[in-house]
Amino acid sequence: MKIKADTTVCIGAGMCVLTAPEVFDQSEDDGTVVLLQPSPPADQEAAARRAVGLCPSGALSVVP
């Protein structure tokens, strides 16, 4: 599984970091999403998927 993040639409709400802290971080400057693990390991996949579903701005997607 691969995750894509579009920082131009991210609103820095932090839901991703709260949900899957090993996969996502937020930039110190503008709070937008930073992908720590674009291809999350198997044990992080479920949390990463939940984060994609919770993201309020539609910045995150799962690449098939």
**Residues near ligand SF4 (CB under 6 A):** 5, 10-16, 24, 26, 33, 55-57, 59-60
List the beta bridge partners of residue 5: 60
Binder of residue 29, out of another protein, ligand SF4, none (CB less than 5 to 8 A by kind)? another protein
The DSSP secondary-structure symbol of 10 reads: -
Residue 12 CA, chain-centre distance (Å), reads: 11
**Helices marked H in the chain — which ranges?**
15-19, 42-54
What is the closest distance, in whole angstroms, from the C-beta atom of residue 35 to another protein in the complex? Answer: 15
Toward ligand SF4, which CB reaches closer, 1 or 12?
A: 12
